[in-house]
């Protein structure tokens, strides 16, 4: 049997016998010839099967022509035939004349979703939705982006870790915990790998990263929230301030965007009408208080009284940065300690502010980063300030009782980055299988 060839590789092959496999996109069953558009994970191809007629003009039915007539959209088939280059063929300038066709699996003729189906309907039938080339491309982009980040980390001697997602206590806010039965007791799904990332600093790993699931019991129904998401995390030792974390963060993003542009830039332009722009470094950095003043001068007053930036404020400061700096990214720095976790280091001489930042990309926050507090006595005091008892954090605080170097890091939502990169309206589009307050299937 001839080895299967991906459709994308046919253009570089010489005319001759080939075998291709994929699913049926369309069938044109004409009187004199049959055409099938076959699609696989790499592209689409035209199959052609001329009908055979006898001397009396009647069709001499063949097994191939009968099988093609019975094909439904979405059926998976393998085809052997003759590859022919023909510049008149719109699909890549090649076609395959069918010699034999084997049906691996017939699909139900009625398709439950269409091009104009709403996103909830599409999510119900996600496995069919992902056959659309633009939707499948998202996850090829994700693969390229993460590979570039991993390459950067590995080449800079970072260690990859896989932290547990079942925890005995909260890693962030107790209000956003999923509680699960665990034998005779309870466990919690990890909101982030934060504590375990810091444990690696106490262990002497120096520089670590993780890409893994995180869970937030947040009943939000916005276009940028999910109850389960993929978090991109890194932590490293011997930093002097959160500026070191921001520098690493922007270098990672430059590596990721460069790889995506080089490998998928043309396809992204064709399918999403988006030009991938590799960001320049350094990214703009604006203290939060100054950012609020800028936004106010643009006519928008951030209404929150909790010292944070709201979504409209994020959009406004991004618009300002795009106008003034021509940049898609901006670090908002110096967040108030009142809204930051107890483990964020506070400014020397001004405990009201933290050595932390949010990274805003095209109007939406994608990441929080900070220098961590590594001095155990200060950690204990800051925990008490937040209404936490050190006894509740005994396992975490033990890391610091045995010494931890100055360190910091960030956590970043992968689906948000891809959503904003491709200028899509909802992170459901960039999540393989979305989980939200009302969705646990498929």
As a whole number, mean pLDDT of residues 78-85 equals: 97
Nearest 10 degrees: Cα torsion 115, 65, 18, 128: 20
What pLDDT sits at residue 422? 98
Residue 176 has a pLDDT of: 85
Q: Is residue 295 in a domain? A: yes
Residue 152: per-residue pLDDT: 98
Average pLDDT over residues 68-78: 97
Residue 417 placed within a domain: yes
Is residue 139 located within the same domain as residue 85? no
**Does 212 reside within a domain?**
yes
Q: Is 357 contained in some domain?
A: yes
- Helix, strand, coil % (nearest 5) of the chain? 35, 30, 40
Q: What was the pLDDT predicted at 74?
A: 97
What is the count of structural domains for the chain? 2
pLDDT of residue 415: 98
What is the predicted pLDDT for the residue at 369? Answer: 98
Q: What is the pLDDT of residue 172?
A: 61
Residue 56 has a pLDDT of 80
Annotated binding site: 172, 216, 365, 368, 372, 413-416
- For the chain, what percent of residues have pLDDT higher than 90? 90
1 assigned to some structural domain: no
Q: Does residue 113 lie in a domain region?
A: no
Same domain, 180 and 216: yes
Where residue 310 falls (left for φ over 0; alpha for ψ -120 to 50; beta otherwise) is beta
Grade residue 58 by pLDDT with cuts at 50, 70 and 90: confident
Q: Is the same domain home to 376 and 414? A: yes
The answer to whether the CB of 166 falls within 8 A of the CB of 212 is no
If you write DSSP's letter for every residue of 246-296 in order, what string do you get?
HHHHHHHHHHHHHHHHHHHHHHHHHHH-----PPPSSPPEEEHHHHHHHHH
Annotated binding site for ATP: which residue ranges? 365, 413-416
Query: Do 95 and 132 have their domain in common?
Result: no
**CATH code, domain with 84:** 2.40.50.140
- Tell whether 433 is covered by a domain: no
163 shares its domain with 277: yes
pLDDT tens digit string along 377-402? Answer: 999 999 999 999 999 899 999 999 99
Q: Which domain does 73 fall in, by range? A: 7-105
Same domain, 176 and 81: no
Domain identity same for 95 and 190: no
User: Are residues 297 and 168 part of one domain?
Assistant: yes
Per the annotation, where are the binding residues for L-aspartate? 172, 216, 368, 372
Dihedral of alpha carbons 252, 258, 263, 267, sign:
positive
Q: How confident is the model at residue 17 (pLDDT cuts 50, 70, 90)?
A: very high
Average pLDDT, the chain: 95
User: Is residue 417 very low, low, confident or very high in pLDDT (cuts 50, 70, 90)?
Assistant: very high
């Amino acid at each position: 049997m001839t080895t299967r060839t991906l459709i994308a590789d046919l253009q570089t092959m010489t005319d001759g016998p080939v075998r291709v496999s994929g699913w049926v996109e369309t069938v044109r069953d004409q009187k004199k010839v049959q055409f099938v558009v076959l699609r696989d994970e790499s592209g689409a191809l035209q199959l052609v099967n001329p009908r055979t007629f006898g001397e009396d003009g009647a069709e001499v039915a063949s097994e191939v022509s009968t099988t093609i007539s019975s094909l439904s959209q979405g059926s998976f088939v393998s085809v052997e035939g003759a590859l022919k280059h023909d510049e008149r063929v719109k699909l890549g300038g090649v076609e395959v004349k069918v010699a034999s066709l084997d049906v691996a699996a017939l699909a139900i003729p009625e398709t439950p979703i269409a091009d104009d189906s709403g996103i909830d309907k599409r999510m119900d039938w996600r496995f069919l939705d992902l056959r659309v080339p633009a939707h499948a491309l998202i996850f090829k982009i994700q693969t390229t982006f993460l590979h570039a980040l991993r390459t950067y980390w590995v080449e800079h001697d970072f260690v990859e870790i896989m932290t547990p997602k079942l925890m005995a206590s909260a890693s962030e806010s107790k209000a956003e915990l999923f509680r699960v039965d665990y034998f005779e007791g309870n466990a919690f799904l990890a909101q982030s790998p934060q504590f375990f990332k810091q444990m690696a600093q106490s262990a002497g790993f120096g520089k670590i990263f993780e890409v893994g699931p995180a869970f937030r019991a947040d009943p939000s129904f916005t276009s940028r929230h999910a109850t389960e998401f993929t978090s991109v995390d890194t932590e490293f030792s011997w930093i002097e301030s959160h500026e070191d974390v921001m520098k690493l963060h922007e270098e990672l993003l430059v590596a990721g965007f460069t790889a995506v542009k080089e490998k998928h830039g043309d396809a992204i332009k064709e399918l999403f009408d988006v030009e991938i722009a590799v960001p320049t470094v350094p990214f703009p950095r604006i203290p939060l208080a100054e950012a609020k003043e800028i936004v106010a001068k643009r006519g928008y007053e951030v209404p929150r009284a909790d010292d944070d930036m709201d979504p409209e404020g994020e959009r406004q400061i991004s618009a300002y940065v795009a106008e003034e700096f021509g940049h898609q990214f901006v670090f908002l720095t110096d967040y108030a300690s009142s809204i930051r976790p107890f483990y964020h280091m506070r400014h020397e001489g001004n405990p009201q502010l933290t050595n932390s930042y949010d990274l805003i990309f095209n109007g939406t926050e994608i990441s929080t980063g900070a220098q961590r507090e590594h001095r155990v006595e200060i950690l204990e005091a800051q925990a008490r300030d937040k209404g936490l008892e050190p006894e509740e954090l005994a396992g975490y605080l033990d890391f610091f009782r045995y010494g931890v170097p100055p360190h910091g890091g960030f956590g970043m939502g992968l689906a948000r980055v891809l959503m904003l990169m491709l200028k899509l309206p909802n992170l459901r589009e960039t999540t393989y299988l979305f989980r939200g307050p009302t969705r646990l299937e498929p």
